[in-house]
Amino acid sequence: MLTWAHIGDLHASSDDDYLGTARLAEWAAQARQQLRGAVDFVFVPGDNANNGLPAQYARIVDALDGLDIPIHAIPGDHDREPGHLNAFARMPGAGVLPRAVHADGRRCLFLDVVSAGGGPDFRLGEAQLAWLADELEASRSDTHRPAVFMHAYPGDLAHEGEALGQLFAQANVAVVDTGHTHYNEVLNDGRVIHASTRSLAQIEEDDGQPGFSIVTLDGCHVGWRFKRLASSWPFVTITAPADRRLDTGYTPVPVVRAKIFGRDIAIVTLAVNGQAAQVMDQDEWNAAVWSAPLGRHYERSGAELVVTATDSRGNSHTDRIEWLGARQRTRELSDAPLGTDAHAVEPWPEHGLLGTQLGPNKHGRKW
């Protein structure tokens, strides 16, 4: 199982008294206590420094000081506002792009969509597109499906978007994780899950509540859930099977698995279709993972699955999904180009998806 935390566009700037980095420091304090050992890395999707200035990156460095979880950062158009990415090198987890990282046995590909075009003219360029095609071809021999990380959806690219969406589908990419939108959104084009997480500073949806998403890849199953910074712990996300909104093909699931984030978890239970809850077992190798068998008779009909975790202080949290089983998808898939928001799933407030599209690149105000 591969798990990462996604911290949305920071837009570090004195214009708002460094609101994004203050919230980043608050998140890092929580992460040190609640996420350590439960996530493989942190993804920071670009538009980190609002004007690409060294002083803005210095604030980000300070906010992340002491965080002992690996970080992978990529640039957005705001990082390249000076016309180059020289200062971006100070960003924790920046590294050389594009790059391939093998995490928990899965190929993760991190892309730069701003250098070839500049500003918001997103594009990969010939060299990077060739590199990506080679990596995706090599991934066909991997045990697990690859994941891709970029600043914007393929459909937001200037010229290569439609071809890129097709490439991801043909290569059996599991998920493409992005920023840029400033709002939470998940796309399911029937082949690939695309997801974006709202900005940590410039927020218009959900009364401006900051937070982060947790993404899981459990075998072929994709999980995505948003957590407000102000909400309490523990935090639960069912990792397998996939909810109907995130389903890209039926796969038999003999067990239900969930990941529990938080400390001193006392008990985790599973309820199927409202029946009496059963106690789940803690994984021998990963204390954050819990599982319970799922009856074979649910395999064709699917089921509503509810997992609840309670810690030693009596605090509890629940995740609920609708598993389709072998049934046909209940949502019609669009014929629109792959990797575009025409494939957005319906609102799912329990997972942080409000369907508002309130952001500066869509229906929101200009920041």
Does residue 342 have a pLDDT over 90? Answer: yes
pTM more than 0.85: yes
Does residue 249 have a pLDDT over 90? Answer: no
Closest CA relative to residue 80, chosen from 122, 108, 19: 122
pLDDT confidence bin for 182, thresholds 50/70/90: very high
Does residue 296 have a pLDDT over 90? Answer: no
Contacts of residue 29, Cβ cutoff 8 Å, sequence gap at least 6 = none
204: buried, middle or exposed (CB in 10 Å: 19+, 13-18, 0-12)?
Answer: buried
Closest CA relative to residue 48, chosen from 170, 218, 200, 270: 200
pLDDT tens readout for residues 60-107:
999 999 999 999 999 999 999 999 999 999 999 999 999 999 998 899
Report, in this order, helix, strand and coil percent for the chain, each rounded to 5. 20, 30, 50
Closest CA relative to residue 177, chosen from 208, 133, 217: 217
Q: How many angstroms separate the CA atoms of 266 and 26, rounded?
A: 26
Does residue 282 have a pLDDT over 70? Answer: yes
DSSP per-residue codes, 23-44: HHHHHHHHHHHHTTTT-SEEEE
Specify which residues 94 forms β-bridges with.
none
Does residue 328 have a pLDDT over 80? Answer: no
| Maximum average pLDDT range among 300-304, 319-323, 334-338 | 319-323
Does residue 340 have a pLDDT over 90? Answer: yes
Closest CA relative to residue 101, chosen from 147, 165, 44: 147
> What distances in angstroms separate CA 232 from CA 200, 298, 315, 362, one per listed residue?
18, 33, 8, 31
- Strands 147-149 vs 106-110: parallel, antiparallel or unpaired: parallel
Does residue 176 have a pLDDT over 80? Answer: yes
Closest CA relative to residue 193, chosen from 321, 1, 333, 310: 333
Closest CA relative to residue 38, chosen from 79, 78, 3: 3
Amino acid letter for position 161: G
Does residue 255 have a pLDDT over 80? Answer: yes
pLDDT confidence bin for 301, thresholds 50/70/90: confident
Q: How many angstroms separate the CA atoms of 367 and 362, rounded?
A: 12
Question: What token pair was written down for 103?
Answer: 């995490």
Question: What token pair was written down for 247?
Answer: 């389903």
Asked which of 186-200, 271-285, 296-310 is least confident by mean pLDDT, the reply is 296-310
Asked which of 171-175, 318-322, 323-327, 352-356 is least confident by mean pLDDT, the reply is 323-327
Neighbours of 363 (CB within 10 A): 12
- Strands 211-218 vs 221-228: parallel, antiparallel or unpaired: antiparallel
Residues 36/74, Cβ–Cβ less than 8 Å:
no
Neighbours of 12 (CB within 10 A): 30
Question: What token pair was written down for 90?
Answer: 């100070």
Does residue 326 have a pLDDT over 90? Answer: no
pLDDT tens readout for residues 212-238:
999 999 999 999 999 999 999 999 999
pLDDT tens readout for residues 118-160:
888 999 999 999 999 999 999 999 999 999 999 999 999 998 9
Does residue 330 have a pLDDT over 70? Answer: no
pLDDT in the model for residue 120: 86
Mean pLDDT over all residues of the chain?
Answer: 95
pLDDT tens readout for residues 40-54:
999 999 999 999 999
pLDDT in the model for residue 331: 64
Q: How many angstroms separate the CA atoms of 252 and 254, rounded?
A: 6
Question: What token pair was written down for 266?
Answer: 């006392």
CA angle 322, 154, 347 (to 5 degrees): 30
